[in-house]
Amino acid sequence: MKFLQATGCYLRTFGQLFWHNYCLCCNCETSDEDEFFCPECWSKIGFCLVETYCIRCGREISAFGKLPVGCPKCEHETILFDSIACAGIYKPPISELIVKFKLGDRTPLLPILLDFTQKAFQRASFYDIVDYIVPVPLYWRKRFQRGFNQSELIARRLKNKKTEFNNDFVKIRETEDQTAVSFEGRRKNLEGAFAVRHGHNFKGKNICLIDDVKTTGATLNECAKTLKEAGADKVFGLVLAVAGQEK
Ligand SMILES: [Zn+2]
Ligand SMILES: [Zn+2]
């Protein structure tokens, strides 16, 4: 036992000598072992995180421009979900972290991206009325190739006393990557791509859809349309970052 204790002690010392903390964003060495990023990256990330955004489209707006009905940029857009909440703007370094999370090593980034999403959820106007947290699904082949659905990883861990995770919303058709499709073609590309499982319990329920990025809103729109056809009452979107700020 004494030997084990002594060995443990040596291992800790050994670890302290050779174990460094690296910034998850720029990979530089950081001094604070509790931090995810170096001070410079934290400051850049701070510029991406937003507290005042349009609750209809998610684009950043000034605190004075906050309106209950949308913003000038989305007034002519068709939006089928009831409201959106977001953690930030899709620009570097948040955009790079999201790509790394989705296509690279997801494990170290999950806690911090989850924290950003959880805080955005708690600030959302719909936080208290959500019944189900539902991830935007991937087609089975894509999920198999990637090994996970990034939105599901976050959705499963979001906390809200009254809300349950629900996986009865699925993607039934393979679609072109939205980034490879024209702005106008995105809605058509997704038409009929989603469905609910038999025996689902969405009728009369308020649903919060989780996705990593909202670009044109075509995905959230198609998901909201399908869920409402299945009887859902309200469908909200909660995303890590909103792109297309200038359009
Ligand atoms: Zn850094
Ligand atoms: Zn708007």
Each residue's pLDDT tens digit, 196-246: 999 999 999 999 999 999 999 999 999 999 999 999 999 999 999 999 888
Question: What is the CA(67)–ligand 2 centre distance, in A?
Answer: 9
What ligand has the least distance to the C-alpha of 247? Answer: 2
pLDDT averaged over the chain?
88
Give the number of whichever ligand sits closest to the CA of residue 21.
1
Does residue 22 have a pLDDT over 80? yes
Say if residues 175 and 136 touch (Cβ distance below 8 Å).
Answer: no
Of the ranges 11-25, 69-83, 106-120, 122-136, which one carries the lowest mean pLDDT score? 11-25
Structure confidence by residue, pLDDT tens digits, 126-160: 999 999 999 999 999 999 999 999 999 999 999 99
* Ligand 2 centre distance from Cα of residue 229 (Å): 24
Query: What is the CA(237)–ligand 2 centre distance, in A?
Result: 13
Average the pLDDT over 17-42 and give the result.
80
* CA 74 to centroid of ligand 1, rounded, Å: 34
Amino acid at 173: R
Which ligand is nearest to the Cα of residue 31, counting in written order?
1
CATH of domain 36-242: 3.40.50
| Model confidence band, residue 15 (pLDDT cutoffs 50, 70, 90) | very low
CA distances 208 to 112, 130, 172, 205, Å, are 20, 6, 20, 10
The set of residues, in sequence order, having a beta carbon less than 8 Å from that of 119 and lying 6+ positions away, is: 87
- Alpha-carbon distance 210 to 67, whole Å? 23
Q: Does pLDDT of 1 surpass 70?
A: no
Question: Can you give the pTM of this predicted structure?
Answer: 0.89
* pLDDT tens-place string over residues 58-76: 999 987 766 667 898 998 8
- How many angstroms separate the CA atoms of 39 and 113, rounded? 17
d(CA 19, ligand 2 centre) in Å: 46
Average pLDDT over residues 86-105: 93
pLDDT tier at 34, thresholds 50, 70, 90: low
